Chain A
């Protein structure tokens, strides 16, 4: 520690790395808002105009933002709100209510949350309301009285919109859309969802009140743009206190993105998904390898991170099984081959295993039935095998029908990697006739 405290014109490299980590981690993990949105300018403009209409002109609107997971729906919305709130008038007038389908699981909770976010708890407190609509109407009425100006616009943001459609009778959605269609209070309802068929979930009366404005966020990223975004995500901006370090870092990122093997890795990730969150995950594991001793991301880091990302989890689990459990898996594989995917029970598996032992006349794996059963149950706990029907209490354990949750290639691959796999077991697995 003392070494780093030496007074110097430059920031010590330890500090620099810490600073770098702080900035990049905020960007990758915390979904920090970018300065400028790329690729979604049209959507941004559309949404901004729409919300301005509500916030300034008192027009009621409803819109759905639809796109796959990690496509930047929330980011878009947040950016638009940021732009919107830059105007003084809007800042003063606009009320926001943020609801999330994961949290507000039924309408009662949602209504309570709306009341709370509009700071109306003291008003509602001792009043008793009949219907849900009455309550909501009161809420909006209260909004009208709340300010000098005749009415204040309210923005409702419904995150995970599809979950609201599963509420009973869709009362909340009906009322919100109804208010946006008829009542005076200007409200804007913005739904955010990842389901493309979300309109099919709505009831007819709800659907008819919805304005059918949809903003689609479907990624049309080419690989070059993708690469550019990766570069942008990792680069430091000009406001980094230590210019020299930042330049070095950015140059390092530049060469990294030029590297052929890196491009290959990124291409593979691009092919599997254009979703940017999965790239964040990849970059995060690269970034975690950056330290004072190694203040740059090397292609090797990216390769390693990608290898970890793409590793087959089941193969990893198979690696840790005991030899008895592995033998049982092989026996199951043979049963699957012979009986073409019919379910099996422990007796059959054990019988198959015994056949192998007889053929090899090898007493090394001669285990008792209870020991085999314990191994079998361990496999079941790991969910590598699964019972066909749930009624476990009714049949004896050894006769319960099971299915193997692994495929042929996974088993063979695991066998290749298995540490000190006995040759006869390997040969048994290879042989087609169990």
Chain B
């Protein structure tokens, strides 16, 4: 492991930093070189971008904590108003007295004024760092905030550096009239080998390192093509390890018998991708499933299986009618829903050269009249158009099974769209024994 080196800091501390940053030595070294010695000036603003869980915050935190540099770490998600941001910065640089000087709803001007006053009392002997996590949220706040932060060093005349961390590239941040350009720094993704190395570090003490690392290898074999997020992978590794060890505990296989272990765990991991990875079943449920021997994983119904909704009889037909109206072209209605539709030649009717089906483009809006016409044709019995039918339509809208498209006219000619999936509508029509597939133009 290449040690970090910089003359401004004690070697012991740097050693400790290096130990905590596996596979990020290069980036930490670059950052350290940019930051320079504590008393020297650093670049006014540094923008660090990289994928989720590529160690941006971690590297920054470890560096600033271990080297004992004055810093304020602010998450932009937490700072719903700029007042919180200012307070946090002043608090961590000058103590709570300074933070209490802020007026009720502070402007940037107040912040800079108080910062300057405090700064003249206790000038920086070391570079102060403001770390902004999730900096992409700054774009949505006050338009002046980001440009002002980028040139904060100039505005407050203090040795201060603002570090922005984000997943999104800098190009989308730039304001209209430009700003002080920050120094861009990329944190590249971890390669497969690096992921393997980092994940193998948190091994279980009662098993050997090789054993755990072979487990990680299998895990990456399944998940690597889908997910490269270290945190997600680590979570999955922790969840499924007990299952991996099961055959060992039963005494069926030895630690070295990788092939058998792989055969045991692979279907389990594949199932995990469909369930735990998508948060269909929670981690707790997943652990419970693993405890229960006889119950197969995935028998427990996940979140999406609960989408089954109990609806009144007519509501079901209304929803079916809405689905048919949304996904069928209006010119085919006659053919599907009229008893005596006259002669339509099949070749003419089924224009197979129509390129894209409606199930690819999504639902089309339809007027209320069409919905009711289809509804009366699919319901066998005679239904009076009572108030209850109409209120059921509007309650379907509140349940977000239908969406109203244009808001311009509430009463006259409302237009709707059907917002349910094919699976859902199939399940509904099965309960009223209606064969929806026969009526869908796309599936003829």
Contact = CB atoms under 8 A, between A and B. Distances in A.
Interface in A295-309: 308-309
Given A285-B183, A322-B228, A394-B403, A22 B109 contact: no
Contacts of B39: 22
Given A100-B155, A284-B183, A316-B169, 9 more contacts: A22-B41, A26-B40, A105-B144, A281-B181, A285-B183, A320-B54, A320-B189, A383-B169, A420-B192
B406 to A, nearest CB: 11
Given A105-B107, A162-B177, A292-B7, A395 B169 contact: no
A128 B43 CA distance: 45
5 contacts: A29-B44, A103-B107, A103-B148, A104-B109, A291-B6
A278 B7 contact: no
Interface of B: 5-8, 30, 33-34, 36-37, 39-44, 49-51, 54, 107-109, 112-113, 142, 144, 147-148, 151, 153-155, 167-172, 177-181, 183-184, 186, 188-189, 191-192, 224-228, 273-274, 277-278, 280, 304, 356, 359-363, 403, 417, 419, 421
A22 B90 CA distance: 26
Nearest to B150: A102
A78 to B, nearest CB: 11
Contacts of B228: 320-322
Contact of B362 (A103, A116, A370, A395): A395
Interface of A: 14, 17-18, 21-22, 25-26, 28-31, 69, 74, 100-105, 109, 112-113, 116, 162-163, 194-195, 277-278, 281, 284-285, 288-289, 291-292, 308-309, 311, 313-314, 316-317, 319-324, 345, 347-348, 351, 364-365, 367-368, 370-371, 374-375, 381-383, 394-396, 398-399, 419-420
Contacts of A322: 224-228
B278 to A, nearest CB: 5
A426 to B, nearest CB: 15
Dominant SS at the A interface? helix
Contacts of A194: 177-178
A313 B170 contact: yes
Nearest to B30: A288
A103 B109 contact: yes
B49 A21 contact: no
B225 A323 contact: yes
B51 A313 contact: no
Given A100-B155, A277-B180, A291 B109 contact: no
Contacts of A116: 113
Contacts of A345: 360-362
Given A103-B155, A345-B362, A113 B109 contact: yes
A278 to B, nearest CB: 7
B37 A313 contact: no
